[in-house]
């Protein structure tokens, strides 16, 4: 085939491409007012122009750098396939609240502004073998059926049944046909100490008593549990300790630090973490101490003077937690509280939801290898979310992304365990 010259091509084009320029004039006449308006905005209203430019740039940045799908580790085989099939949230994009993508804004906003759902409880007093007492708060709702599975909720450090995030978890359980119950640790939930002992990340005795009590009230009823932060550490410890004999059928933990030493370093060496999170938690711990000082001082290893001057979490653990649970120091206590080496002992479905920007749990210490080596454990890791913040929507006062995760997991476990 012979080549066609450029001149021949141009000669065969429609004539209006070469001679008729009226269409160009028409386009110019239509666009000129638009260009004139933009010029007026740029030179006469620079504030509007700058605002629009910044907003557009922020939207592009949010789309490109913030919106991500969660990363899934572990759970090879049947459990992983089941959850990815029945929990579409794990394969969808997570859209954090656009003005609260920062780890601290997400964490603080959820804690300070999340709405508190109305909830009625029936309180059960549980007496423990050492004479101590704690409170179990059972949700009261007409939707609960006699055969509803149990949803056991373990709050974080100093948490109780009245906090907004706990109330939302109770609501999650009710919406999925469960019977929610909140495990208030000793000295919390308005319940005074009876013995000179609070709770620790390494001790599961109280949780074991709670599970036994639930089984006696509802024999044969499956128990699914969720633990947040410290509650998640205790729950994970229980599951690893009991293995295939666990009386908790499945679990989900949220924002659970796996390595206490790295959490301590992150919280106590970074200025913002220390001035905000540590000071807030220490203030709440001091309230518990003051309310129960006459009981705690009965322990022979507790220094009453130091107890009243606690200024950090590690000092609290040195003065109260370590001596009351048989440790020589907080260092020995933290070493024993590590969860990384215990994940392989979990023999029931276990989901851990974490954010890579959690100020309580540095990313470099996430045990992804250990999760991948156990078919019963799954780690869902988001890029943003803070410490059980996980906000979504422009006005995040209601349920959060972690609540949607919880709801889908509860549904999936019903099918998985044929409840």
How far are the Cα atoms of 63, 128, 209, 313 from residue 301, in angstroms, in the given order? 55, 21, 25, 18
Question: Which stretches of 176-324 are DSSP H helices?
Answer: 205-217, 230-242, 260-269, 271-272, 279-296, 304-307, 313-316, 322-324
Tokens representing residue 60 in the block: 């592009």
Provide the b/e sequence for 26-43 (b: ≥16 CB within 10 Å).
Answer: eeeeeeeeeeeeeeeeee
How far are the Cα atoms of 220, 293, 303 from residue 321, in angstroms, in the given order? 35, 14, 12
At 100, give phi and psi (nearest 5°): -135, 40
Contact 239, 263 (CB under 8 A): no
3-state secondary structure of 353: strand
Active-site residue flag, 387: yes
168, 242, 384, 387: which one is catalytic?
387
Tokens representing residue 64 in the block: 């490109």
Count CB atoms within 10 A of the CB of residue 18. 10
106, 229, 246, 263: which one is catalytic?
229
318, 358, 384, 399: which one is catalytic?
358
40's enclosing H/E stretch is: helix 22-44
Active-site residue flag, 229: yes
DSSP string, 42-110: HHH-HHHHHHHHHHHHHHHHIIIII-BPPEEEE-TTHHHHHHHHH-GGGTSPB-B-TT--SHHHHHHHH
Tokens representing residue 373 in the block: 């080596």
The C-alpha atoms of residue 238 and residue 225 are separated, in whole angstroms, by 11
Count CB atoms within 10 A of the CB of residue 99. 13
Tokens representing residue 271 in the block: 């200025």
Residues marked active site are found at: 229, 358, 387
């Amino acid at each position: 085939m012979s080549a066609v010259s450029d001149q021949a091509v141009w000669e065969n084009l429609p004539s209006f491409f070469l001679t008729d320029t009226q269409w160009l004039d028409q386009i110019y006449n239509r666009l000129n007012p638009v260009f004139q308006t933009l010029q007026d905005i740029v030179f006469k209203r620079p504030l509007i122009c700058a605002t629009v430019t910044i907003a557009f740039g922020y939207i592009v940045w949010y789309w490109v750098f913030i919106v991500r799908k969660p990363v899934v580790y572990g759970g090879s085989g049947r459990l992983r396939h089941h959850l990815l099939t029945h929990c579409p949230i794990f394969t969808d994009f997570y859209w954090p609240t656009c003005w609260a993508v920062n780890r601290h804004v997400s964490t603080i906003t959820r804690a300070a502004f999340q709405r508190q759902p109305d909830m009625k409880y029936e309180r059960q007093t549980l007496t423990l073998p050492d004479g101590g007492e704690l409170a179990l708060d059972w949700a009261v709702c007409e939707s609960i059926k006699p055969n509803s599975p149990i949803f056991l909720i373990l709050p974080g450090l100093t948490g109780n049944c009245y906090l907004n995030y706990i109330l939302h978890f109770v609501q999650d359980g009710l919406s999925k046909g469960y019977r929610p119950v909140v495990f208030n640790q000793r000295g919390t939930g308005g319940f005074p100490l009876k013995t000179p002992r609070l709770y620790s990340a390494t001790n599961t005795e109280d949780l074991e008593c709670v599970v036994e009590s639930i089984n006696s009230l509802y024999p044969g009823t499956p128990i699914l549990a969720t633990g947040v932060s410290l509650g998640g550490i205790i729950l994970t410890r229980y599951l690893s300790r009991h293995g295939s004999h666990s009386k908790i059928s499945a679990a989900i933990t949220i924002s659970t630090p796996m390595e206490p030493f790295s959490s301590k370093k992150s919280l106590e060496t970074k200025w913002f973490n220390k001035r905000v999170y540590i000071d807030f938690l220490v203030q709440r711990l001091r309230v518990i101490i003051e309310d129960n000082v006459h009981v705690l001082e009965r322990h022979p290893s507790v220094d009453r003077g130091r107890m009243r001057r606690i200024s950090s979490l590690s000092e609290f653990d040195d003065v109260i937690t370590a001596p009351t649970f048989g440790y020589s120091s907080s260092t020995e206590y933290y070493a024993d509280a590590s969860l990384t080496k215990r994940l392989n002992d979990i023999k029931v479905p276990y989901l851990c939801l974490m954010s890579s920007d959690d100020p309580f749990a540095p990313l470099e210490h996430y045990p992804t290898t250990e999760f991948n080596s156990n078919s019963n454990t799954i780690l869902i890791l988001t890029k943003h979310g803070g410490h059980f913040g996980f906000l979504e929507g422009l006005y995040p006062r209601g349920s959060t992304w972690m609540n949607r995760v919880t709801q889908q997991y509860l549904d999936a476990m019903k099918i998985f365990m044929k409840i």
